[in-house]
Amino acid sequence: MADELKNFYYHDHFHEDQQSNITTSFPFSTADSSAGQDPQGFDPFYKSFNEYLHGSTDYNTLTTAFGLSPSSSEAFSVVKEEKKTPEGTGDLVGGSETPVTPNSSISSSSTEAGADEDSNKSNKEKQMKGTSDDGGESSKKVNKQKKKAEKKEREPRFAFMTKSEVDHLEDGYRWRKYGQKAVKNSPYPRSYYRCTTQKCTVKKRVERSYQDPTIVITTYEGQHNHHVPATLRGNVAGMLPPAMLAPGSMAGQGFPQELMLQMPHIYNYGGTSSVYQQSMTPLQQLQLSADYGLLQDMVPSMFFKQEP
């Protein structure tokens, strides 16, 4: 059923506005957990994104690639969230009144780069649930102490908003959903995903903005320590520039190559996604390719059919 739904969404979406409205945003610091700490002060992610945002290479490239004018306010609204939002990312859009322009692609994003030792949430690792049987309590305590001792380093977080009809955007990695929660003040649930690759602890949360249901807020936590699985349906990895696939690169830092992948007309056509293919004529594809000329340079391979 999920697939049907997905297809429906894709289909519907592309018939209605021809994918022109998928937009992704860039990070701003949310300080979800750092409570009052100045993200600029120590946040490596913030820093790097600052570079992006201030017109250094990659950001410009990407921005241009998305067909967005760097100076266009509606294309990339970079928002710095300094307040802690009680509702978490759910407030990214609503509570903070992120400038969402109704009928245009808007996006903002955020990084909460791991405030080193915030007193928050811990780096999980299932210390809860002392397992039914044996000394649940003792293990709990132990875990607690461990928690403190281990200076719960928080994984860097990275949130961005995407205008998309699809909830779970394909990013080349394989994710397993491990939870879903209702978001307060929002009719839309939040889904929790974990990278299925062993020893990769990256997680992501996906939720829809309750103010603008067309906006999907994706929050990554952690960094992939592996490459994009090459065997993924359609071999998405094969369509990405190598620079984005390597751990430690943009992708490795949690930087959304998803961001790129969210532009289905850029990455997902040409044999990777029959759905998209269906809804776009080759001419359209070419036009879009032309529109995102810079990406051509980055991803020449996207012109080749990568079908097995």
Partner DNA sequence: CGTTTTTGACCAGCGC
Partner DNA sequence: GCGCTGGTCAAAAACG
Residues near DNA, by CB under 7 A: 1-3, 32, 35, 84, 86-90, 119-122, 124-131, 136, 140, 143-144, 147, 174-184, 190-194, 196, 203, 205
Least distance in Å: CB of 67 to DNA? 30
Least distance in Å: CB of 86 to DNA? 6
Least distance in Å: CB of 100 to DNA? 20
Least distance in Å: CB of 225 to DNA? 17
Which helix or strand (DSSP H or E) is residue 225 part of? Answer: none
Which of residues 76 and 193 has its CB atom nearest to DNA in the complex? 193
Identify whether the C-beta of residue 260 lies closer than 8 Å to the C-beta of residue 202. no
DSSP 115-138: -TT-SSSTT-SS-S---SSTTHHH
Q: How far apart are CA 132 and CA 139, in angstroms?
A: 11
Which of residues 1 and 283 has its CB atom nearest to DNA in the complex? 1
Q: How far apart are CA 246 and CA 223, in angstroms?
A: 11
Which of residues 127 and 249 has its CB atom nearest to DNA in the complex? 127
The dihedrals phi and psi of 184, each to the nearest 5 degrees, come to -65, 140
Cα R_g (the chain), whole angstroms: 19
Sequence-separated (6 or more) residues with CB below 8 Å from residue 37: 31, 115, 118
Which of residues 130 and 252 has its CB atom nearest to DNA in the complex? 130
Which of residues 54 and 233 has its CB atom nearest to DNA in the complex? 233
Least distance in Å: CB of 96 to DNA? 14
